[in-house]
Amino acid sequence: MVALIAIAVVVVFALVFAARTIRVIPQARAGVVERLGRYSRTLEPGLAIVTPFVDRVRPLVDLREQVVNFSPQSVITDDNVVVAIETVLYFTITDPRSATYEVANPLQAIEQLTVTTLRNVIGGLTLEATLTARENVNAELRTVLDEATGKWGIRINRVEIKSVDPPADIRTAMEKQMRAERDRRAAILTAEGSRQSQILTAEGEKQAAVLQAEGEREAAVLRAEGESKAIDTVFKAIHEGRPTRDLLSYEYLKMLPQLAEGDANKVFVVPSEFAGAFGGIGEALSRSFGNRPGSADPGDAERAEDNGAGGLPAGDPAPGQLPTGGSGGKPPATGGSGGKPPADGGSGDKPPAGAGPSR
């Protein structure tokens, strides 16, 4: 019985000895070993053997990146505005020995250092700069904290300002300022748009006026060229056709009614050439009626030629008289009536007998 008890005690002692001798360190963990109260070594992940009752393994140190959210801290800005700033810190323990022996409470030390550094940085910035320049504040905080925690075996990976909460009255004033700024920008944009619209409208009207003027000029030039060519063509046609005086007189009389048209024409002025034109028409009518059978004695022309008369042909009335003929019972016209000089072929504009106007 005593032997059994002794064997049991030996087995229990062996188990306890083995448990204190063999240690398994998990991944991303590190163990600090103290031998007789002094630092001996750092255990890496895996199986490790320690001397029982001589070596002591302190609590394992987490080597993974850790995140700490610090509560909001009251900070006064450069323009004397109290704001509450909440920060988030990312850090990693790089040296388990320093993190164990250099600082008693790493998290509390980092928090206090963050608050102090944050007050120093924000104290030199205005509220607007604090709200808009967070990247610069984060970079400056990380630089200061990383330099201070380097001797503790801790590396500061990142520092972020989670929120910046100014007082309620400051937020109200900021909202009013933002609304006023947006209204000002909207008014400026509206004015610029109106100005651009007016400028573009004026430029369009100017270009339209220039194009219209150029079109009118080209149209006037083309119209003048067309009229010039038309006049030239008519002039050439008239000269090539050799019109008689009778035709010209008739065309002249046809234009007289057009001169009298219009509501504003109160007085109709007959030009001095009217008598000459009428005389030409009379001569044409006289020749027309004179050539008809029974209108005159055919021997009058022969007698006029035998007597040597050089005036108008037989049957032609004198200027200003109606034509004679066999119809109407009108007496024949005499060469000396009405105070006119005798038709001797040498007076007036009439050509000698046999040399009348060409047809």
Beta bridge partners of 46: 25
pLDDT in tens, 54-69: 888 888 999 999 999 9
d(C-alpha 43, C-alpha 47), whole Å: 9
- Mean pLDDT, range 41-45, rounded to an integer: 89
Select the more confidently predicted residue: 21 or 275: 21
- Contacts of 60 by beta carbon, 8 Å cutoff, 6+ apart: 25, 26, 29, 30, 31
Please report, rounded to a whole number, the percentage of residues in the chain having pLDDT higher than 90: 18
pLDDT band at 183 (very low <50, low <70, confident <90, very high): very high
pLDDT score recorded for residue 93: 92
pLDDT in tens, 107-165: 888 888 888 888 888 888 888 888 888 888 888 888 888 888 888 999 999 888 888 88
Select the more confidently predicted residue: 13 or 184: 184
d(C-alpha 127, C-alpha 176), whole Å: 16
pLDDT score recorded for residue 349: 43
Positive or negative torsion for Cα 186, 192, 195, 199: negative
d(C-alpha 51, C-alpha 197), whole Å: 91
Alpha helices by DSSP H, the chain: 2-21, 96-101, 106-122, 127-132, 134-149, 168-241, 245-259, 273-290, 299-307
Within 13 Å, how many C-alpha atoms sit on residue 56's CB side?
8
pLDDT score recorded for residue 287: 66
What is the overall mean pLDDT for the chain? 76
What are the angstrom distances between the C-alpha of 205 and each of 200, 209, 219?
Answer: 9, 6, 20
pLDDT band at 170 (very low <50, low <70, confident <90, very high): confident
Residue 60 phi, psi dihedral angles, 5° rounding: -65, 145
Residue 322: CB atoms within 10 A of its CB come to: 13
- Closest by Cα among 52, 56, 57, 55 to 13: 52
- Closest by Cα among 250, 239, 50, 220 to 212: 220
Residue 196 pLDDT > 90, yes or no?
yes
- Mean pLDDT, range 341-359, rounded to an integer: 41
pLDDT band at 283 (very low <50, low <70, confident <90, very high): low
Which amino acid, one-letter code, is at 12? V
Q: Which two tokens stand for residue 13?
A: 């002692």
DSSP 64: S
Residue 29: CB atoms within 10 A of its CB come to: 16
Select the more confidently predicted residue: 254 or 35: 35
pLDDT score recorded for residue 193: 93
d(C-alpha 215, C-alpha 17), whole Å: 115
